[in-house]
Structure 1
Amino acid sequence: MGNESGGGTAGDGSVSVERRGAIALITLDRPRKRNALSTHLERELQRAISSEEVTGSRAVVITGEGGCFSAGADITELREMTPRAIADYYRSSGGVYEVVAALPQPVVAAITGYCLGGGLELALAADVRIADDEAVFGFPEIGIGILPSSGGVTRITRCVGTGRAADLVLRGRRFGAVEAERWGVVSEVAERGQALSRALDVAAEFAERDALALEHTKRVLEMSQEASLAGSLLLERLAYATLNRTEA
């Protein structure tokens, strides 16, 4: 069963969510704007994430309609915001990227076409990224005098290291799927047209695993990036002790 959120005009786009067994498939559907992430589309994504299809799933796949993951944020909309409006934005629809990252179940991004700016920030909020071999990545924000601010700078730095992140963000240059895999931005490159199929296969693997073990391991992976060595080891052991008291 699937449903589609409403509330905007056809040009605003929508986000559909459907269940495929234990997997929830979320699709950005604004192809005429290359799935640009307007505040409307971000709100639709928040609604999709809070739907029963997602909350009752064992794994989540996010993709884009029309052969494009997302070409970025809706810059014309953001340009009109005052500093106060921007602060309010990050407390509302702009916080959806962290909602994705905080999902208890594994999230897989199936990337085709453009994955730029806010689109790449959304993909980086997923746990696993699988790209079509013709996918194009990049953070173009520096070219218009801003920076990736929905987790982009933070997550790309943790993903590829400070030196590589500086090269990508400060130059705003685009890179392809082969480079993305070599640098660890994506975990796998699929043949043309196969990214979604492979993402669903990976999500199916997750759906067969113990849900609590996956959730705890996600949190330890995330927190270990900020914790000291001793703190990270303690997190591992506490999580293990908690899981060892449960029935698989």
Structure 2
Amino acid sequence: MKIIAPKPFYFENDGPKAVVLLHSLSGTPNDMRLLGRFLQRNGYSAYAPMFAGHGTREPLDIIEQGGPDAWWKQAEEALDFLKSQGKTEFYFFGLSLGAIFATKAVEECPEVIAGGTFGSPLYNTSFKNIRDAFLIYSQKVYELNEISEDQIQAKLQTIDQKIDGFLDSILTETTDVTANLKNINKPYFIGQGTHDDMVDKNGANKVADDVKNADLHFYDAGHVLTINTAHKDLQTDVLNFLEKIEETNA
């Protein structure tokens, strides 16, 4: 079976409206494709870059090539790309890891009209669940690579040695972004699964308390809201959120 490598996507639509979709730590733009196509069908261009280190069959690439500085630069480059395509109305949404940088774009980029998060780690004080999940993800990837058990264990040991410093850098970025939530005066969407075992579900309420114009939604689903059983409800809610902004600004 041929495995097709994930890649960034740009689903273009006529008009000035464009949405940036940022994926999760162990994900790729594939997790944002359903939402991207839905938004395209409803009048928005959708662009999902692929974070540095992602999209390969070597999980160590994420740790060794990625990081908050590289990923934030890519978020800024996404905005520049859409400007080069003639777009003038910008929205940022992010899933899990992507939520950090989508929120930062809302906070720091004046051109960004609004944005939001799905399964956000904002207000998390520990990334233990994320650490555990990344190691499980890594093992599954290595098993697909059909390498020996000794090679798998050696690679997992390397990840185990490097991951804490890596996650600490992400947690520091998360804390900085969270500290600025009270300064957001733009519309801000929050989607949170009630069965999410990756992030602190109560964080969604805390974020909503901080942001003046928060639009909070809970879903009877797990972490990856863009592709799990909640994805259709999420899509509808995001579109309603965007259309309400347009009506307000008309």
Task: Please tell me the TM-score bracket, short chain as reference.
Answer: 0.3 to 0.5
TM-score by length of structure 1 reads 0.38
Q: RCO (CA 8 Å, sep 6+): is it higher in 1 or 2? A: 2
